[in-house]
Structure 1
């Protein structure tokens, strides 16, 4: 096997490496660095497929390796981050007073865990199920069924970044509302595994006619990022879903 055949797999392993580092930071509640390494992992995730196509070295092991790496970077990390965010939300004084009955705390040899934040890990389960389905689905070449796991990871990781950098008490209050976070968790699991067809950012050529929706989407992304900064990420995800529905 030639050296070039290993290049996409090496890039995929860099995705997994970044995702593993992001897990460490997420567990430590260092959301900014967790997000940075998730972004790097997603960057490598995009280019492993790009180089596999350019070098014509696509393989079955590459497909499996890609999903395994995504499971960590785009599945495990957002689940941990949501777990942490819900934990922060239920510790807020305005909410803690009303949750003593149904948000019970379990103790085991000094280890304490609250039940409600564990719902955040449903994102990890939903991501795993989606990736397993994707590996068996031969139709998803020019489009995706449901939201891709990297896009979902960006959505979840954007929340602590918005809190950290947007400096908006109103937005922070909304994000750290437990009902919002729990609702987003269930929505995330649904949209990951829905049958909604979403366009893929794969260009067979670069003509505007054949890629009209993709170019419009990319222009909207740039505009939103300039105007809204990190708050643009949830807006971009909504645009992505709406444009996909309209284009179909």
Structure 2
């Protein structure tokens, strides 16, 4: 979050990805160590809110700022007397914080929704975070004039912000990637999906991430999560 606020979006992305990695395995670790508790459940949600709620919201603010002004915001000093442009356009980047609001609502619903024990209703916040944070990585490591024009289009970023908020809270059943067992029969779709993801990342690098998120949604639409 500190890196995102300071405009270092690449470091913010890598730290957020590390947080998502540990979030993926925390359930397995808790079950293996018999260390699950109500406190752990609450800490998990609070960590998700920072890593997969606050961080992607701030990153979107910075991307919108780049798209509109050509540079990231110094959010720490943005409201200083000489550091703030009072024109209406200067407020537009903060539309990105809708992702934080949408993520908070999605996480709160998840905590009280008994339907989401073995699958998800709506796009999980870590998946949405991977989508948003892949954009600065593409800009940093796979940039071209065409790619920059696409990613740093303010209208595209605003639409992506709104669509991500909708997907986070839509009544859309999606399969969970967390493994309760390692058996191939019960996890065949998961294993195939992970293999395809690995292949796409090798071929396309960070550009593969938005494709993977779209593939995840499509698989869930064509296969009922209860059957996966």
**Aligned-residue CA RMSD in angstroms?**
1.6
Aligned residue for 1:214? 190
Specify the SS of the correspondent of 1:115.
helix
Verify: 1:29 aligned to 2:7, yes or no. yes
Residue in structure 2 matched with residue 172 of structure 1 by the alignment? 148
Supply the distance in 2 between the matched residues of 1:75 and 1:177 (Cα, whole angstroms).
Answer: 22
**Partner of residue 93, structure 2:** 117
Listed as ranges, the gaps of 5+ residues in structure 2 are 71-77
Q: Provide, for residues 76-97 of structure 1, a one-character-per-residue CA deviation record: whole Å limited to 9, x for no partner.
A: 01100000000110125xxxxx
Task: Give the equivalent residue in structure 2 for 1:15.
Answer: none
1:59 aligns with 2:37: yes
Superposed structure 1 runs of 4+ greater than 4 Å apart:
none
2:28–2:180: 8 Å Cα contact kept in structure 1?
Answer: no
Identify the match of residue 83 of structure 1 among 48, 61, 64: 61
Shift of 1:212: 2.2
Larger of the two Rg values belongs to structure: 1
* Cα separation, partners in 2 of 1:225 and 1:107, compared to 1, 3 Å: closer
Pick aligned residue for 1:185 from 149, 161, 165: 161
The aligned length equals: 213
Q: Does 2:6 align with 1:38? A: no
Out of 137, 148, 157, the residue aligned to residue 133 of structure 2 is 157
Q: Which structure carries more relative contact order (alpha carbon 8 Å, separation 6+)?
A: 2
SS state of the match for residue 156, structure 1? Answer: helix
- Cα deviation, residue 167, structure 1: 2.6
Q: Deviations over 1:136-189 (max 9, x none)?
A: 112212111111111111111100100111132211110000010000000110
Kept after mapping to 2: 8 A contact 1:64/1:135: no
Query: Retained in 2: the 8 A contact 1:26–1:34?
Result: yes
CA drift of 1:111 comes to 4.3
Deviation, 1:108, is: 6.9
8 Å CA contact 1:63, 1:135 repeated in 2: no
Give distance in 1, aligned partners of 2:222 and 2:183: 20
107 and 24 in structure 1: CA distance in 2 versus 1, 3 angstrom threshold: closer
- Show structure 1 runs of 5+ residues with no match: 1-22, 93-105
* 1:72-120 CA distance string (max 9 Å, x none): 111101100000000110125xxxxxxxxxxxxx977334151110100
Aligned to 1:200: 176
Please report the TM-score for the alignment, with normalisation by the length of structure 2. Answer: 0.88
> Residues 168, 68 of structure 1: CA spacing in aligned structure 2 closer, same or farther, 3 A cutoff?
same
TM-score normalised by length of structure 1: 0.81
Q: Secondary structure at the match of 1:198?
A: strand
